[in-house]
Structure 1
C-alpha cells in the first residue's frame, strides 16, 4: 500500500513541477517585412524585459498564459498571449505597425504680429526702393530716404488696433478694451476667453501698465502684452 501511494505522490510532484517550468521562447520582431532592432519585449507577469538584437531576434522565458508586450519607439504596442500553440513553434514572428505622423495645417492669420526686426527691415526696403525710383525719375516720392518708412510701420502696427477714441483715462483695462481688437487678443496672442479679465488684472498690476496707457504708444503696448502673456502662462 505504501509503494502505490509513493508513486502517486511522486507523479503529482513531477507533473506540478513540469507545468510550472519556464520555457524559452525564441522570436523575431519585424515591421513591413524588415527586422526591427532595439524593441523591448516585456513579460508582464515576471517583469522580465529583453531587447531585440540587430536582426530583430530575441529570447525570453515564458509560461503558458503569460502576456508579452512589445514596445518600440514610433511603433504601436503589440500584446501577445502565450499559448501552447505558440510555444510549439520553433521561432515566433511578431509584426508591429509604425505610427503615422499627421502633419497639421499651419494657418497664418492676417493679424499675425510682425516682429520689430521684420518691421525695421520692411522700412529699409521701402526706403531703398524709394531711393532707386527717385534716382531713376528725378522725382521726390515723399518717402524717407536712408531710414525707416514710418508710414509703412504705422500701417503694420495699426492693423492690431481699433479705431482710436479720445483717451480720457489712463486706466489700462479700459484702454485695452477701447483700443485693442479681440481678434488680436484671442487669435494672435492666443488668450483663452475665460482668462480675459484675469489677464487684464494681471497686466494692470504691473506699474508700467498705466504709464503705457497714458503714453498710448501702440508698439510698446503690443510688446508689453506679449511679455505679460508669456509670464501669465507660467503661473
Structure 2
C-alpha cells in the first residue's frame, strides 16, 4: 500500500510541479521477472526547466506510446490523465485540487484506482525543440581535370588533361536542428522497483524549423523503448 502511494505521489509531483531529472543510457533490473506485466499506468509529463516549445508535445507522445503498445494485445496501457478524469467523474471532485488541500484523501483515491495496474511508466519530456548550431568558416579541396593545349618535344601541338586543386571556402553559418529528449522509468506498483529505465536524447538537422522533425524523432525514441519493453516482457 505504501509503495503504491509513493508511486502515485511521484506521478503527482511530475504533474503538479515537475522533476528535473544524450546519447542514450539504459538500466535493466535483471533480477525482476517481467513476464507477469499486463497492465501499465502511463504518465507523460514536462518537468520544470525542460526545453519544450510545443504545447501539444505530451499529447503527441501519448499517442505514440498507445500506437507502439497496440502491437501487443497482451499488454494493456492506461494514461494517467484518463485515470484522473475517471476519479473526477466518479466522485464529482477535482482530484488535482484535492492533492493540494487534502493529500491524504487524494492518495486514498489514487490507491483505489491504481489497484488494477501492476506497473507504472513515467515518461519525462526533457527536450522537444528546434534550435540552431554555429558552424565556423572552413574550406575543402577537390581535384578537377582540365584540358589544355601543349607542345611536345617535337614541336607538335596536342591536347592534354591535367589535374588542378580547387579550394572551396565555406563561410561561417548556422545549421538548424531539432532535439527530443525523453526519460522513461518503468516501476513495479507494489514494490516501487525500477524495472527498465532509459534516457535518450536525439538531435537531427532541421533547416525547416518546424514540429515535424521533433515528432519524427520522438516517435522513433518511443518505438524503440516500447519495443524493447515488449521484448523484455516476452523473454
**Do the structures match in fold with TM over 0.5?**
no
Bigger radius of gyration: 1
TM-score (norm 1): 0.22
Q: Is the strand fraction higher in 1 or 2?
A: 2
Question: Bigger relative contact order, structure 1 or 2, given CA contacts below 8 A and separation 6+?
Answer: 2
TM-score (norm 2): 0.22
